[in-house]
Structure 1
Amino acid sequence: MMGLFEEKSVSPMLIAQMQEPFNDDGWIYELKLDGCRYIGYFGQNGTCLRNKRNMELLPRFPELKGLHRSVSERTVLDGELVVLRDGIPDFFELQRRTLLTDRFKIEMAAARHPASFVAYDCLCKDSRSIMDRPLLERKEALQSSVREDSLIAISRYIPTDGIGLFRAADERELEGVVAKRAASLYYPGRRTKDWIKFKRMADEEFVVCGYIRKNSRTFSIILGKYHDGSYLYKGHVTLGVTKEAVGQLRESGIMPFAAIPAGAGNESAVWVRPDRVCTVEYMPNTKDSLRQAVFKGFRTDVVPEDVD
């Protein structure tokens, strides 16, 4: 039977909910990075980075092909791929990198704004799965497995003071904080309340179902959610939507919703194939609309059927 390292098919553990910051002696807290989740497999023969859809995207990030030289052999790490600009994770630049296909443009982008891998969990060390060990033990294994450099880092954490760390993240306009139960085990593919996020702004995935052209330079994307084989209308997002983003959509001429509200420009909508997922950032705690919504980009690691 193949092990975790050989199979290279781990589905990452997921955060189940967002809530207000809290302090607790039984929890640790680390910064939430504005990047894309990847599982890294590091062995003698090289580096393999796979996203939540188990897609290998290392060809889009050639600057990371030598990461295995900084990690213990036959080790599997959970972490975040980020692109830093002025020391702050830039999701838009990272998302742009994931969509590049031209080798020359990829190499130019890698030289201009190199990506880095920030590891926050160790799932397998020396070919042995440690997912059944408490989080703090896995953190120790992570610390002993990675030699940090400009392309790979270990996520720092603090005990107890989640409120203080969130306040610091808020002051620096970072994305937020993830709270993790110190004794928690790692459950691949499962949403668990052992991990909780505190966010300055909420973000959420939606299926792109259409768009509305407001003028030559302004567009709104029509958002939906997948539910029981059909799509539910969830409103619009305009801020952050570019002509280039709309140009990536494929028209279908078929409205995917059973019903939509009147007005809001829906009568002039251009319907597209609901095969793209995007992330939208908005002010949390709003029930009826996405307040101050901002389009952050398309996801290559999420399928529409997962957005419910």
Structure 2
Amino acid sequence: MDIFDNRNISPMLIAEMKDPFDSPDYIFEIKWDGIRCVSYLGTETDIRNKRNKLMAPIFPELQNLHEQVKVKCILDHELLVLRNGMPKFYEVQKRATMTNPFKIKLSSERYPASIIAYDILYYKDKDITMLPLIERKKYLQDVVIENEMISVSRYIEHNGIMLFDLVKEKGLEGVVAKKKSSLYWQGKRSKDWIKFKVLDTDDCVICGYIIKEKSMTSLIIGQYDEDVLVYKGHVTLGVSLRILNQYNYKVIDYSPFGYIPQGNDNAVWLAPELVCIVESMPTDKGGFRQPVFKGIREDKTALECQV
């Protein structure tokens, strides 16, 4: 089956996180804080997230994206909203949950989305996933007509540490190192792609919440160790019930951990279904230091949140 016609690509994923390094065998590019998507661009624009949800109706400002490529192609890219040149994950994620056409239109005018393309999987009528990355990059640079709607991810060779230091200075999320010879394996976690992160970002399951003094809300979070839900503590900064109430969640009358962790006697327990993003300072012990709630993500299941 032609991968363009089938339209069911699961993006290749990063398998490892390491300290920054230099290497002549890798390219290094900025890790953007948005929603990972694949776009099928021919006579129309078809944008899909990692779970194959149609995104073009929610981002109407990108409906003519197919006019910004020279030939029929499939692009792997980040869908993001920039404010003052910086990616704002909350804005793009908030839009991704909208269903009201009027609200979508208002948001698209106020905070227009754009894409940064970093890979191409199909060119004209040919699957090119088995070409080395550095060759795919040449196709990508040739096919895209850049404007405010779409840009091509720039990369540097060899100097991963220098780029990481610059990204850290600018307050961006991190850097991705990709082996020049890497092929594109759909849906696989590849050790050929490595991330350097300025801040640790973890996907966690929301297991409940506690209302604290001054009406502050603290989320109780967990992660799975294979199929066992493990208590990971609380996140309070950035949390509000207003944000949580935008999503469907189910209140339950027992702790989903099978016991009540210390300090959670007054918790409102939730079915472990919603996934959130928690950003924190790196630690050697694998815990969360100064955790900050960064938003809900609907493109990941609870069981994918592994320790």
Using structure 2 for the length normalisation, give the TM-score.
0.95
Q: Secondary structure at the match of 1:139?
A: helix
Structure 1 residue 288 displacement after superposition: 5.5
Structure 1 residue 303 displacement after superposition: 1.2
Counterpart residue type for residue 115 of structure 1: A
Counterpart residue type for residue 106 of structure 1: I
How many angstroms apart in 1 are the aligned matches of 2:273 and 2:114? 29
Q: Secondary structure at the match of 2:74?
A: strand
Asked whether the equivalents of residues 211 and 246 of structure 1 are also in contact (C-alpha less than 8 Å), the reply is no
Return the match for 1:81 from 79, 82, 89.
79
**What is residue 59 of structure 2 aligned with on the other side?**
61
Asked whether the equivalents of residues 230 and 256 of structure 1 are also in contact (C-alpha less than 8 Å), the reply is no
**What is residue 25 of structure 1 aligned with on the other side?**
24
**What is residue 251 of structure 1 aligned with on the other side?**
251
How many angstroms apart in 2 are the aligned matches of 1:92 and 1:304? 20
How many angstroms apart in 2 are the aligned matches of 1:145 and 1:77? 10
Q: Secondary structure at the match of 1:187?
A: coil
Alignment of 1:58-137 (within 5 A): 58-137=56-135
C-alpha spacing 1:228/1:27, structure 2 compared with 1 (3 Å): closer
For residues 221-250 of structure 1, what are the alpha-carbon distances to aligned partners after superposition, in whole Å with 9 as ceiling and x for unaligned? Answer: 111123454422111111110121232333
Is 1:201 aligned with 2:199?
A: yes
Using structure 1 for the length normalisation, give the TM-score.
0.95
RMSD: 1.3
Counterpart residue type for residue 12 of structure 1: P
C-alpha spacing 1:115/1:244, structure 2 compared with 1 (3 Å): same
For structure 1, which segment, 130-139 or 210-219, has the greater mean C-alpha deviation from structure 2 after superposition? 210-219
Counterpart residue type for residue 184 of structure 1: S
C-alpha spacing 1:286/1:268, structure 2 compared with 1 (3 Å): farther
Q: Secondary structure at the match of 2:251?
A: coil
How many angstroms apart in 2 are the aligned matches of 1:198 and 1:228? 25
**What is residue 170 of structure 2 aligned with on the other side?**
172
Q: Secondary structure at the match of 1:223?
A: strand
How many angstroms apart in 2 are the aligned matches of 1:103 and 1:146? 29
How many pairs are equivalent? 304
**What is residue 222 of structure 1 aligned with on the other side?**
220
Asked whether the equivalents of residues 72 and 125 of structure 1 are also in contact (C-alpha less than 8 Å), the reply is no
**What is residue 183 of structure 1 aligned with on the other side?**
181
Q: Secondary structure at the match of 2:288?
A: coil
Instruction: Give unmatched runs, 5+ long, in structure 1.
Output: none
How many angstroms apart in 2 are the aligned matches of 1:217 and 1:134? 54
Q: Secondary structure at the match of 2:5?
A: helix
Q: Secondary structure at the match of 1:292?
A: strand
**What is residue 39 of structure 2 aligned with on the other side?**
40
Structure 1 residue 217 displacement after superposition: 2.9
How many angstroms apart in 2 are the aligned matches of 1:167 and 1:273? 41
Return the match for 1:235 from 224, 233, 236.
233
How many angstroms apart in 2 are the aligned matches of 1:15 and 1:187? 11
Q: Secondary structure at the match of 2:54?
A: coil
Asked whether the equivalents of residues 72 and 126 of structure 1 are also in contact (C-alpha less than 8 Å), the reply is no
Instruction: Give unmatched runs, 5+ long, in structure 2.
Output: none
For residues 76-119 of structure 1, what are the alpha-carbon distances to aligned partners after superposition, in whole Å with 9 as ceiling and x for unaligned? Answer: 11010010000100111111111222111110110011000110
Asked whether the equivalents of residues 30 and 157 of structure 1 are also in contact (C-alpha less than 8 Å), the reply is yes
Structure 1 residue 253 displacement after superposition: 2.1
C-alpha spacing 1:241/1:195, structure 2 compared with 1 (3 Å): same
How many angstroms apart in 2 are the aligned matches of 1:153 and 1:252? 45
Structure 1 residue 64 displacement after superposition: 0.6
How many angstroms apart in 2 are the aligned matches of 1:161 and 1:260? 48
Alignment of 1:149-160 (within 5 A): 149-160=147-158
How many angstroms apart in 1 are the aligned matches of 2:87 and 2:201? 15
**What is residue 292 of structure 1 aligned with on the other side?**
290
Q: Secondary structure at the match of 1:267?
A: coil
Q: Secondary structure at the match of 1:274?
A: coil
Q: Secondary structure at the match of 1:285?
A: coil
